[in-house]
Amino acid sequence: MCGIVAYIGQKNACPILINGLKRLEYRGYDSAGIALFDSEQNLNVYKTKGKVSDLENFIKDKNTEGKIGIAHTRWATHGEPNDVNAHPHYSQSKDIALIHNGIIENYAPLRKELEKRGFTFQSHTDTEVLVNLIEDIQQNEKVDLFEAVRIALNQVVGAYAIAIISKKEPYTLIVARKGSPLVIGIGKEGDYYIASDATPIIEHTRKVVYLDEEEIALVQRNTDICIKTIKNEEKTPYVHELEMNLQELEKGGFNHFMLKEIYEQASSIRDSMRGRLHPETDTISLGGISDYEQKILRADRIIIVGCGTSWHAGLVGEYLLEELARIHVEVEYASEFRYRNPIISERDVVIAISQSGETADTLAAIRLAKEKGATILGICNVVGSSIARETHAGVYTHAGPEIGVASTKAFTAQVTVLTLLALRLAQLKASITKSRFKELAIELESIPEKVKQLLKNDEQIIKIAERFKDTRNAIYLGRGINFPIALEGALKLKEISYIHAEGYPAAEMKHGPIALIDEEMPVVVVATSQRIYEKVISNIQEIKSRKGKVIAIVTEGNQQIKDIVDYIIEIPCTEELFVPLLATIPLQKMSYHIAVMRGCNVDQPRNLAKSVTVE
């Protein structure tokens, strides 16, 4: 969380930085700020509580000239979101300005020490401690800015992606990272674009260098970047070519990114299968992990780790892998896994699922499992992200950039990749017959077309959204592979419309949640044709006899259920194992419409951020 952008070159930095912040706003939107050198080498900092648009208004009548600058959009960790706590932070002398994404964990003792040495602080942030630490080192050790930053970072415990400019070295930009991401774009005219991810960079250049853990870069116009580790080892920058497309970062005629991303799912699911699924030749090839297939088959178990929506995809994956490949799977919240001294051996395979590839807890979980000798695989969306780079091998989801904070197309792409993996392992293990493999592969290939059909049906969902937009609570139920879909449906609703919603396995209703049912309570039930369909119908009867309002997701043409429930949403008929790929979509849409009707900021829900780089 928090987005950082920086520029050094011949162009006017301010518009580049503001546009960059807009692309990164999904990473946090509590406050925003910018620091620029003007032509007289004054270091001007402007910052304000609120969004990037508030910053734009704030700087309208200010001096924003300058060809070097740094900018920040904040998701508050230390200190409430106000003007003072916003970044950039000046050092005490106002010679240095710094932006930071991450957390300096030992900021309190460092601050005390600096206070003893005469420093005073304007804010409550850990970041102001870091900028003053750098200033203190420069003053005492008489070193240049790069060396002062390097020494300071050796004293810091925590995570950071930082960008720093100083009056004393007005042609220099210093950036560094540990735990939080940072990309350097190499411009065509000797200029450099720095950002938390590649989205602000793509419109300027496709050539990027991803900074590695504990690396610092000295960036100057018309000069090659110089990279060292904080231990002072020199590194050779490795230049990557970005494959992203600028149109993918625009709303393309939709009112919100979330809606656009919901509608992209027919193509994003197809993209995540492209070149991998070949029903005609009975093959599935997952190139990224082909060298590890035997290892997975020999594994004692697969442990899937993830957070939020990615954890829900993991739960669907557990069902698929156990059902098809008959491999023991455990799914863990990355944040719990990493802190409970888990029993892991070299015979375990850990799969990390992450859209951003930057989630701090997921990253920490894979590091822990790696230390213990497990094989680590990743299912990530963002190419070149930290998790993608730190795993032994992996499969990209290829869903394209997801900008809406609530995850939609990334989820269905994750589930698609897990389905391919389960089918591939099942084939290798011969745990399903050849004809069953073919049947499933053909059906999987037809899913994007079914998603397309499903996306046409909006009327009924809007009607349901109208009816329940003012509810204060909602319950989501599902069984088997659709239980995680109930969890994901509930999460979507609470994330973007701030309605309290809970997902349960349908049969668990009787053990508590049923007490909540009254004539006001909407209960969304995934009731598609499945092995335990009759049991789900019994669960629905239990709700109806307590006057709950039931919205059922059903298989197209189901006549029986119409008479029992209040509303139905039909989805095309498919294999039971693939229902999650379809059933999720109307739930995403329903949450979207409810949130819009309630006047909520769909793409940037309060208090949330898309990429959670703090623990």
256 binds ligand G6P (CB under 6 A): no
Q: With respect to ligand G6P, which residue has the nearer C-beta, 321 or 496? A: 496
419 binds ligand G6P (CB under 6 A): no
Q: Does 308 bind ligand G6P (CB under 6 A)?
A: yes
| Contacts to ligand G6P from residues 205-244, by CB under 6 A | none
- Residue 2 catalytic? yes
Q: Tell me the closest approach of the beta carbon of residue 414 to ligand G6P, in angstroms.
A: 8
Structure tokens at 363: 């990253």
**Closest CB to ligand G6P among residues 138, 613:** 613
Query: Number of residues in contact with ligand G6P, rule: CB under 6 A?
Result: 16
359 binds ligand G6P (CB under 6 A): yes
Which span sits near ligand G6P by CB under 6 A: 72-80, 354-362, 543-551, 584-592?
A: 354-362
Two tokens, residue 557: 């043409």
Segment near ligand G6P (CB under 6 A); pick from 185-193, 262-270, 307-315, 588-596: 307-315
Q: Tell me if 612 contacts ligand G6P by CB under 6 A.
A: yes
- The one-letter amino acid at 417: V
In the set 178, 260, 494, 610, the catalytic residue is 610
Cβ closest to ligand G6P, residue 205 vs residue 355: 355
Pick 133 or 334: Cβ nearer ligand G6P:
334
Question: Shortest Cβ distance from residue 574 to ligand G6P (Å)?
Answer: 24
- Token pair recorded at residue 376: 């680590």
Contact yes or no for 613/566 (Cβ under 8 A): no
Task: Kindly identify the residues of this chain, within the stretch 389-408, that bind ligand G6P according to CB under 6 A.
Answer: 405-407
Kindly tell me which residue out of 127, 196, 362, 574 binds ligand G6P, with binding defined by CB under 6 A. 362
DSSP codes joined into one string, 234-266: EE---EEE----GGGGS-TT-SSHHHHHHHTHH
Specify the 3-state DSSP secondary structure of 524.
strand
Q: Mark 335-363 as b/e (b = at least 16 C-beta within 10 Å).
A: bebbeeebebeeebbbbbbbbbbbbbbbb
Measured between alpha carbons, how far is residue 592 from residues 406, 476, 525, 605 in Å? Answer: 10, 16, 18, 11
552 scored as a contact of ligand G6P (CB under 6 A)? no
Q: What are the structure tokens assigned to 238, written together?
A: 């490795």
Among 166, 309, 391, 604, binds ligand G6P (CB under 6 A): 309
Residue 91 Cβ vs ligand G6P, minimum distance, rounded to whole Å: 32
Residue 268 sits in the site that holds ligand G6P (CB under 6 A)? no
Examine residue 591 and tell whether it contacts ligand G6P (CB under 6 A): no
The alpha carbons of the chain give a radius of gyration, in whole angstroms, of 25
Q: How far is the CB of 611 from ligand G6P (least distance, A)?
A: 6
Nearer to ligand G6P, 181 or 185 (CB): 181
Candidates 2, 14, 380, 600; catalytic one: 2
Among 516, 537, 518, 542, CA closest to 526 = 537
Structure tokens at 354: 């992450």
Minimum Å distance from CB 593 to ligand G6P?
A: 19
* Cα–Cα dist 412/370, whole Å: 27
Q: Whole-number minimum distance, CB 277 to ligand G6P, in Å?
A: 23
CB 135 within 8 A of CB 166: no
Q: What number of other Cβ atoms are within 10 A of residue 492's Cβ?
A: 27
Q: Where are the alpha helices (DSSP H) in 433-557?
A: 434-456, 459-468, 483-497, 533-544
Among left, alpha and beta (phi > 0; psi -120 to 50; other), residue 131 is alpha
- The SS3 assignment for 163 reads strand
**Separation CA 65–CA 362 (nearest Å):** 41
Give the binding range for ligand G6P (CB under 6 A) out of 265-273, 308-316, 339-347, 417-425.
Answer: 308-316
Q: Which residues bind ligand G6P (CB under 6 A)?
A: 307-310, 354-356, 359, 362, 405-407, 608, 610-612
- Show which residues are catalytic: 2, 610
